[in-house]
Amino acid sequence: MSTPDHLVEAAQELLWERGYVGTSPRAIQRQAGVGQGSRYHHFAGKPDLAPAAIRRTAAAMGAAAGQVLGGRGSAYDRISAYLLRERDVLRGCPVGRLTMDPDVIAGDELRAPVDETIGRLRGRLAEIVQEGLDQGEFDGALVPDEIAAPVVATVQGGYVLARASGSTATFDAGVRGLLSLLSPRAGSGSAA
Read off the CATH number of the domain in which 154 is found: 1.10.357.10
Q: With bands split at pLDDT 50, 70 and 90, how would you rate the model's confidence at 9? A: very high
Does a structural domain hold residue 96? yes
Residue 9: exposed, middle, or buried by beta-carbon count in 10 A (0-12, 13-18, 19+)? middle
Q: With bands split at pLDDT 50, 70 and 90, how would you rate the model's confidence at 139? A: confident
- 76-121 pLDDT, tens per residue? 999 999 999 999 999 999 999 999 899 999 989 889 999 999 999 9
Does a structural domain hold residue 3? no
Please tell me the pTM assigned to this model: 0.86
Q: With bands split at pLDDT 50, 70 and 90, how would you rate the model's confidence at 135? A: very high
Q: Average of pLDDT values for 135-156?
A: 94
Q: Judge whether residue 190 has pLDDT over 50.
A: no
Q: In this predicted structure, what is the pLDDT of residue 185?
A: 62
- Give the count of beta carbons closer than 10 Å to the beta carbon of residue 173: 13
Q: Average of pLDDT values for 147-171?
A: 97
3-class SS letters over 107-168: CHHHHHHHHHHHHHHHHHHHHHHHHHHHCCCCCCCCCHHHHHHHHHHHHHHHHHHHHHHCCC
The C-alpha atoms of residue 52 and residue 40 are separated, in whole angstroms, by: 14
Q: With bands split at pLDDT 50, 70 and 90, how would you rate the model's confidence at 186? A: low
Q: Average of pLDDT values for 7-22?
A: 93
- Give the count of beta carbons closer than 10 Å to the beta carbon of residue 128: 24
Does a structural domain hold residue 146? yes
Does a structural domain hold residue 26? no
- Domain span including residue 102: 54-182
Q: What is the radius of gyration, based on Cα positions, of the chain? A: 19
The C-alpha atoms of residue 36 and residue 29 are separated, in whole angstroms, by: 7
| Counted domains in the chain | 1
More confidently predicted of 34 and 82: 82
Q: In this predicted structure, what is the pLDDT of residue 189?
A: 44
Does a structural domain hold residue 9? no
Does a structural domain hold residue 135? yes
